[in-house]
C-alpha cells in the first residue's frame, strides 16, 4: 500500500521492482504513474486518502520536492477526446474511478526546461515520461495529423536515441542498432498512427534509424539527458502552438 515515505530509500522509476506487481487484487485501489515503459505502472494507494493526500504520497515516492507539489495533481482521462480531467483535491472517491493518473499540471516555459532539469531533476524526469506517454498514446493532436507524420518521426527519434544510449551504457556495448532492435520495438518510440501495418513499419524504420544515427554521431559526447531535453522542448513548441 502506497503511503508517505518514512525511509530514506530512493525510488527508481527504471526499476520494475518499484511497483506493487503481483500483490494486486481485484479490490486494489491504484494510481497510474508514468515511467520508462510504454504503459503506466500501477501503485496501490490508501483508500482513506483524499486526492490531495494521494498526490502528495506519490510525489514523495517520486522524490518530487514539496515546493513542486502544487504543480502535480490526479486526473482521469476522457478517452473519446483524449484529454485529462482534474479531480478535486479534497474529494475521496478514487474507488469509483476506473483509472486515475498522477500528472504534472503545467508545462514549464521553454526557457526554464534546462533549469527544471538541473534544479528539480525528479520533476523533469517525470515530465519527460508524461509527455512520452502522451505522444505514444496519441493524446497530442498535433502529431496525429497525417500531414505531420515527418515531425512525429522526428520527435520519436529523440526517444530512440535516448533509449539506445542508455541501453549501450548499461550493457557496456557500442550503440548498435541491430542488437538494440532485437529487444525494442518501434512502438516504444512512435505512436500507433505511424505503425498501422507492416508496410508503415517498413517505411518508418529506415528513416528514423538514419536520423538517430546522425544525431548520436553529432552528440557523441552528450549524455542521454540531452535527448530528453530535446524531446520535451520540441513537444512544448508544438503543444503550445496548437493551444495558443
pLDDT digits (tens, 9 = 90+) for 110-169: 888 999 999 999 999 999 999 999 999 999 989 989 899 999 999 999 999 999 999 988
State how far the Cα of 123 lies from the Cα of 63, in Å rounded to an integer: 8
Cα separation of 222 and 39, whole Å? Answer: 27
For residue range 169-191, list pLDDT tens digits in order: 898 888 888 888 888 889 999 99
Tell me the per-residue pLDDT of 15-52, one tens digit each, with 9 for 90 and over. 434 444 433 334 457 899 999 999 999 988 888 888 89
Cα–Cα distance measured from residue 18 to residue 13, given in angstroms and rounded to the nearest whole number: 7
Please list, in sequence order, all residues whose beta carbon lies within 8 angstroms of the beta carbon of residue 223, skipping any fewer than 6 positions away. Answer: 165
Domain spans of the chain, in order of start: 16-104, 110-243
Q: Which fold has domain 16-104?
A: Ubiquitin-like (UB roll) (3.10.20)
pTM of the entire structure? 0.84
SS (H, E, C) the chain: CECCCCCCCCCCCCCHHHCCHHHCCCCCCEEEECCCCCCCEEEEECCCCCHHHHHHHHHHHCCCCHHHHHHEEEEEEECCCCEEEECCCCCCCHHHCCCCEEEECCCCCHHHHHHHHHHCHHHHHHHHHHHHHHHHCCCCHHHHCHHHHHHHHHHHHHHHHHHHHHHHHHCCCCCCHHHHHCCCCHHHCCCHHHCCCHHHHHHHHHHHHHHHHHHHHHCCCCCHHHHHHHHHHHHHHHHHHHHC
**For the chain, what is the mean pLDDT?**
83
Which grid cell sits at 145?
495529423
Q: Whole-angstrom Cα distance, residue 107 to residue 232? A: 9
How many Cα atoms within 13 Å fall on the side-chain side of residue 146?
2
Amino acid at each position: 500500500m502506497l503511503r508517505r515515505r518514512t525511509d530514506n530509500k530512493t525510488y527508481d522509476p527504471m526499476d520494475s521492482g518499484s511497483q506493487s506487481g503481483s500483490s494486486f487484487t481485484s479490490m486494489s485501489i491504484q494510481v497510474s504513474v508514468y515511467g520508462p515503459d510504454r504503459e503506466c505502472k500501477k501503485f496501490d494507494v490508501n483508500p482513506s486518502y483524499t486526492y490531495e493526500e494521494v498526490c502528495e504520497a506519490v510525489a514523495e515516492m517520486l522524490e518530487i520536492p514539496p515546493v513542486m507539489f502544487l504543480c502535480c495533481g490526479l486526473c482521469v482521462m476522457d478517452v473519446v477526446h483524449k484529454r485529462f480531467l482534474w479531480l478535486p483535491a479534497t474529494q475521496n472517491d478514487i474507488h469509483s474511478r476506473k483509472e486515475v493518473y498522477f500528472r504534472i499540471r503545467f508545462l514549464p516555459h521553454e526557457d526554464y526546461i534546462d533549469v527544471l532539469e538541473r534544479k528539480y531533476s525528479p520533476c523533469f524526469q517525470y515530465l519527460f515520461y508524461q509527455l512520452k506517454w502522451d505522444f505514444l498514446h496519441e493524446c497530442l493532436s498535433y502529431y496525429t495529423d497525417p500531414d505531420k507524420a515527418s515531425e512525429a518521426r522526428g520527435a520519436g527519434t529523440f526517444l530512440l536515441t535516448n533509449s539506445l544510449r542508455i541501453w549501450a551504457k548499461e550493457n557496456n556495448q557500442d550503440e548498435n542498432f541491430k542488437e538494440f532492435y532485437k529487444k525494442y520495438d518501434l512502438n516504444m518510440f512512435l505512436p500507433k498512427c505511424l505503425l498501422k501495418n507492416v508496410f508503415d513499419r517498413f517505411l518508418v524504420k529506415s528513416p528514423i534509424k538514419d536520423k538517430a544515427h546522425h544525431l548520436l554521431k553529432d552528440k557523441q559526447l552528450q549524455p542521454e539527458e540531452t535527448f530528453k531535453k530535446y524531446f520535451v522542448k520540441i513537444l512544448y513548441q508544438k503543444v503550445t502552438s496548437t493551444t495558443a
